[in-house]
A and B are shown apart, each in its own frame.
Chain A
């Protein structure tokens, strides 16, 4: 059975696309056939982060409209042959995505893929609702600040009431917290919320903490998901996330600012 994962947040710019690319790659690297879909119509950038922007011919909306087959539109990743990308359209308007159309594409993908990762646009409007509607699992990406936490909470409410699982009264969407752009120094100085504060408000299962790291930008400029960078703390944290999602028990790291300790241990750079 395929599992549909939505990467969502409410608030923009918190790291959804970075996360979608990383976990899709992580799952594929573990041998699971994975597709990652860009739901951000008009603002596509998943293909940039995945480094396949120059190979885009057809997109998600072409498939929905029957202008291209799924196989024509899916782009095989250059680093991992278990990973496929379904890019968003840069030119169409958002209304081209329909609930029924999205459902059809997901159903077809589910026949072939183990995991389908949906990179949600920001906001709580139609685009975000479409991205989460069919989800089995939700990765709620949150930055350690009040507005991001509040928006995540709002998203969780929508997941609990407007997803297909909610509408059909099925087992609820499994919700996981991903705390990203975490900077222990700024937590210590009180500029950012700590893990405890966030957990206090959201009470969700924590899948991982992704530290703020320059390597994320470097990776996205290079078009290689950061999870492939074994020298990056963010990359290692994403590897942990995938392992935990697949059922492995790994301790959380990069929470405290143990000056240099982890950095020395993992040779990571910040």
Chain B
């Protein structure tokens, strides 16, 4: 007879799921905003699993229908895999849709992680996903925009919360390549036109930036981009962006820092 371990195995792994914090119950606005986000980083968002966070909605006593939200998300190609901060009634709605719920007791690895932990038998600390470490700690404040995805909850089972790590890239980032850093991103080489670098935190490019750079991609509005030679196709912080067409001549080919102020991207030469 087969022993149980040859039939199946439980492993605890760490993986990373964006949290979608809803600040409005306006389905049309949610859908439109999400479509915009997706069009900015289609590969990243397409088929992305996510956890729906409705705490803000309930706090503001905004009425909504879980099924409707789930269906909207699925229709635009996202995979909701959890509900956080729902009421009893909302939770039971979610469970009918086979979506696990998190009672929302605490802010970090909550019931969803518990849910996972029950299955954890063998402990395999090795991260399968290089972006899995350090998902905590970015801007947790819901933004004024309709939606914002914040990666403040790792669906993880074993590893204790680690500080956000900086990703260091020393090779050139060539056209067609994409880099995603769960924390800050430091690039020592050039970033070519047609390349895309993204970070949940800040981006530093100690060389020429010709491609697209998106900082604060999970909604961190205080993220910044620094580069030695700005020739970017697009720069974005927390979803607010400028294309090369709108980057003024005075800051082109200059060392700059880029930050967000009242939803406006400010590009300043670093003297």
Contacts and interface: CB of A to CB of B under 8 A. Distances in A.
B171 A153 contact: no
A172 B171 contact: yes
A156 B190 contact: no
A203 interface: yes
B176 A158 contact: yes
Contacts of A150: 175, 193-194
B177 A161 contact: yes
B194 A156 contact: no
Contacts of B190: 203
B156 to A, nearest CB: 25
Contact of B177 (A157, A172, A200): A157
A165 to B, nearest CB: 12
B155 interface: no
A124 B195 CA distance: 15
Given A201-B192, A203-B190, A154 B175 contact: yes
B115 interface: no
A156 B174 CA distance: 7
B42 interface: no
Interface in B207-227: 208, 210
A201 B192 CA distance: 7
Contacts of A156: 172, 174
A243 interface: no
Given A150-B175, A172-B171, A203-B172, A157 B193 contact: no
Given A201-B192, A203-B190, A154 B172 contact: no
Nearest to B177: A157
Contacts of A154: 174-176, 194
Interface string A157-172: 1101100000000001
A160 B174 contact: yes
Interface string A112-131: 00000000000010000000
A138 to B, nearest CB: 12
Contacts of A172: 171
B161 to A, nearest CB: 28
Contacts of B176: 124, 154, 157-158
Nearest to B190: A203
B223 to A, nearest CB: 25
B12 to A, nearest CB: 26
Given A172-B171, A203-B172, A160 B177 contact: yes
A255 B57 CA distance: 66
Contacts of A157: 173-177, 192, 195
A153 B173 CA distance: 9
Contacts of B177: 157, 160-161
A158 B177 CA distance: 8
7 contacts: A150-B193, A153-B193, A154-B175, A154-B176, A156-B174, A172-B171, A201-B210
Interface of A: 124, 150, 153-154, 156-158, 160-161, 172, 200-201, 203
Interface of B: 171-177, 189-190, 192-195, 208, 210
Given A157-B177, A201-B193, 18 more contacts: A124-B176, A150-B193, A150-B194, A153-B175, A153-B194, A154-B174, A154-B175, A154-B176, A156-B174, A157-B174, A157-B195, A160-B172, A160-B174, A160-B177, A201-B210, A203-B172, A203-B189, A203-B190
Counting from the closest, the 6 A-B pairs by CB-CB distance are A157-B174, A153-B175, A157-B177, A154-B175, A156-B174, A157-B176
